[in-house]
Amino acid sequence: MVDLSRISVMVSSVDSETDAAAATRAARRRHRTGTAARPRPRASVLGVFGELLITAGVLVLLFLVWQLWLNDVIVRAQQDEVAQQRSQHWVDEAAGEPAPPGDDIIVPAQPDDAQIFGVLFVPRFGEDYAADIAGGVSRARTLDPIGLGHYPGTQMPGGQGNFALAGHRTTYGKPLNQIASLRVGDAIVVQTKDGWYTYRFRTLEYVTPTQVDVLNPVPQSDAAASDRFITLTACSPMYSAAERIVAFGVFESFTPTADGPPASLDPVEN
């Protein structure tokens, strides 16, 4: 005989499973319906503007890092290399030529605007340091693209009076960045195709931009020149043009190119 009770239990079990599956499907449909009906958040104008400001701030910061540090490192290295090559070219040209007779100091002629005529070496600034010197002190033609500029009307290297130069302390290769590190007696050497002019650092001063008497034949004096001076000027403080930092030096010796580099170019201990 057929066990009706067992059949009834089996049917009830199947019905229960069917009901459970149906309930699960219904719950999933409700969940999908609820999710689809949920409104999407909208980006506010202030939120977009804030993100744009953050992005702009990051870009400005990256530009400053590039302009004030990375770019300066690259430009300084390039300017050092170009000036070193110019220096060596002058030495190679003079190889085998006799030194000029006597102890006369050869004083170069005044250069044209932006005409490169010399190279500055300062052992205190590092063994690789070398900076081209050109006529004029305009930023567009001399200071920015070349390095150091010669104040028109001031003396030339080796001449009686004041040989005055200007250069950046920050940006554009910053050739006078370390001017404040000079110590009394440090060599400041200017090379031209004729030879090396060695000056010795004496003092450092801070003046206003209007105190142009630092360019006088005798710096900060109206006296007639009987000695030979060098004056280096740069903006101060760092990243500001409020003042000028000025380094003064006095002439020591002239070494013709044919005699080879002077001992004043030897490295110094920092």
Write the pLDDT tens digit of every residue in 80-127: 999 999 999 999 998 877 777 777 899 999 999 999 999 999 999 999
The answer to whether residue 75 sits within a structural domain is yes
Single-letter amino acid, residue 117: F
What is the C-alpha to C-alpha distance for residues 250 and 231, in angstroms, rounded to an integer? 9
Domain encompassing residue 243: 70-265
**Mean pLDDT of all residues in 129-137:** 98
The answer to whether residue 89 sits within a structural domain is yes
The answer to whether residue 14 sits within a structural domain is no
Residue the block writes with tokens 């002439």: 251
What is the C-alpha to C-alpha distance for residues 207 and 204, in angstroms, rounded to an integer? 10
Q: What is the pTM (predicted TM-score) of this model? A: 0.76
The token duo for 174 is: 């910053």
* pLDDT reported for residue 14: 42
Residue 63 has pLDDT above 80, yes or no: no
Catalytic residue annotation: 168, 235
At residue 236, what are phi and psi to the nearest 5 degrees? -150, 145
The answer to whether residue 8 sits within a structural domain is no
Residue 21 has pLDDT above 80, yes or no: no
> For the domain that residue 230 is a member of, what is the CATH number?
2.40.260.10
End-to-end CA distance of the chain: 114
The answer to whether residue 110 sits within a structural domain is yes
The answer to whether residue 1 sits within a structural domain is no
Rg (CA), the chain: 38
**Mean pLDDT of all residues in 187-200:** 98
Q: What percent of the chain has pLDDT over 70?
A: 77
The answer to whether residue 5 sits within a structural domain is no
* pLDDT reported for residue 11: 39
The answer to whether residue 38 sits within a structural domain is no
Domain count, the chain: 1
What is the C-alpha to C-alpha distance for residues 234 and 172, in angstroms, rounded to an integer? 13
